[in-house]
Amino acid sequence: MSEAMIQLDGVKKVFITDEVETHALSGIELNVRKGEYVSISGPSGCGKSTLLAILGLLDTPSDGSYTLNGKAASGLKISERARIRNREIGFIFQAFNLIGDLNVYENVELPLTYRGMGSADRKKAVMESLEKVGMSHRVKHYPSQLSGGQQQRVAVARALAGNPSVLLADEPTGNLDSQNGEAVMDLLRDLHRNGATICMVTHDPRYAKFADRTIHMFDGRIVEESIEAVV
């Protein structure tokens, strides 16, 4: 068995707004091995995005523990969390979230600039990851000049560029038509085949089946895990 990349023990998340407590996560146990492709599904509001935010160190659990790549994630300083996000995690969002003022190259380069990488190294990494997503011919374009599918491929390239330990994708096809959606899914599958660890939230059962394992959530809990037969 390869080693654990993600380990969640009894993770809870409670949001308190206007004296109302929302139990977004109520005791999550989850292990993701290195190189594993996990898809997370469940009805809207069941806590999928919250779970992904905790995995991505964007949010902290109210209770329980989280170990990422062998290191406990609790009690880290804000700056350390930012550093880990930058090096260990690649995010892909539903709304592709490219920065309008930056061109394709600069968007992909962005996470690398936050780790003080030399510009030659950055260029190599950016071009490699743009090639992986088939967008290397569009480096000078601005997001507004690209289609939705192309934008999301650029977003994937940005997630890959830093060579992260884990890719976290929250409904990456949610804003795409089915053709573009499939292309992005194919891309993720290729990345997985080349060894990437992926946690992806999706509603779409067609895409869920690309994963090694599908987790179903309901009301803040994992209610079912199904393991796909390896093709």
Ligand X SMILES: Nc1ncnc2c1ncn2[C@@H]1O[C@H](COP(=O)(O)OP(=O)(O)O)[C@@H](O)[C@H]1O
Binding site for Mg ion (CB under 5 A): 49
**Among ligand X, Mg ion, another protein, none, what does residue 45 contact (CB within 5–8 Å per kind)?**
ligand X
Cβ–Cβ < 8 Å for 208, 41? yes
| 122 Cβ neighbours under 8 A, 6+ residues apart | 109, 112, 113
* Residues 10-49 contacting ligand X, CB under 6 A: 15, 17, 22, 24, 44-49
Up-side HSE of residue 167: CA atoms within 13 Å toward CB?
A: 33
Smallest gap from residue 172 Cβ to ligand X (A): 13
d(CA 119, CA 136): 17
- Phi, psi angles (nearest 5°) of residue 229: -65, 135
Cβ–Cβ < 8 Å for 129, 157? yes
* Residues 132-191 contacting another protein, CB under 8 A: 143-144, 148, 151-152, 158, 162, 174-175
Sequential DSSP letters for 38-54: EEEE-STTSSHHHHHHH
User: Is 202 a residue that touches another protein (CB under 8 A)?
Assistant: no
- The interface mask with another protein, positions 2-41, x = CB under 8 A, is ----------------------------------------
Piece in contact with another protein (CB under 8 A), picked from 32-40, 55-63, 178-186, 193-201: 55-63
Smallest gap from residue 223 Cβ to ligand X (A): 13
Piece in contact with another protein (CB under 8 A), picked from 26-34, 95-103, 206-214, 222-230: 95-103
Q: Read off the tokens for 210.
A: 């690309």
Cβ–Cβ < 8 Å for 11, 63? yes
Q: Identify the burial level of 212 via C-beta atoms within 10 angstroms of its C-beta, where 0-12 means exposed, 13-18 middle and 19 or more buried.
A: middle
Smallest gap from residue 224 Cβ to ligand X (A): 15
User: Applying CB under 8 A, which residues contact another protein?
Assistant: 49, 53, 56, 58-59, 78-79, 82-83, 85-87, 91, 93-101, 110-111, 114-115, 143-144, 148, 151-152, 158, 162, 174-175
**Which spans of this chain sit near ligand X (rule: CB under 6 A)?**
15, 17, 22, 24, 44-50
